[in-house]
């Protein structure tokens, strides 16, 4: 598995490569609140913090139930608000 430097902002093509999910699967999970939503980088560009993607991917790979993944994402989004 490939890892990102933790404070790095990653874009959708890298997330697709690392997770193996399609664009539509990622956005479906965002709608189901089992994947963190992107944040604006300006204009139409969006990104995610690498640590968010790593945390969620680790949770899935360890069989964390969706309810707990949603709770994890809430915590990640709180941390994100403090950074942005």
Residue 78 included in any domain: yes
pTM summary value? 0.84
pLDDT tens digit string along 9-59?
A: 999 999 999 999 999 999 999 999 999 999 999 999 999 999 999 999 999
Within its chain, how far is the Cα of 27 from the centroid? 10
Residue 2 included in any domain: no
Backbone torsions φ then ψ of 44, nearest 5 degrees: -95, 0
The domain that contains 51 carries what CATH number? 1.10.1660
Residue 77 included in any domain: yes
Give residue 1's pLDDT band: very low, low, confident or very high (50, 70, 90): low
What are the E-state strand segments in 9-74?
9-10, 39-42, 45-49
Residue 42 included in any domain: yes
Range of the domain at 53: 9-83
Q: How many domains does the chain have?
A: 1
SS3 41: strand
Contact predicate 57/14, CB 8 Å? no
């Amino acid at each position: 598995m490939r890892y990102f430097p933790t404070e790095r902002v990653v874009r959708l093509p890298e997330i697709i490569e690392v997770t193996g999910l399609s664009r539509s699967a990622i956005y479906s999970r965002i709608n189901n609140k089992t994947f963190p939503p992107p944040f604006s980088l300006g204009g139409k560009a969006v990104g995610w913090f690498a640590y968010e993607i790593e945390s969620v991917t680790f949770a899935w790979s360890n069989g964390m139930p969706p309810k707990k993944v949603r709770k994890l994402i809430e915590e990640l989004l709180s941390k994100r608000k403090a950074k942005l």
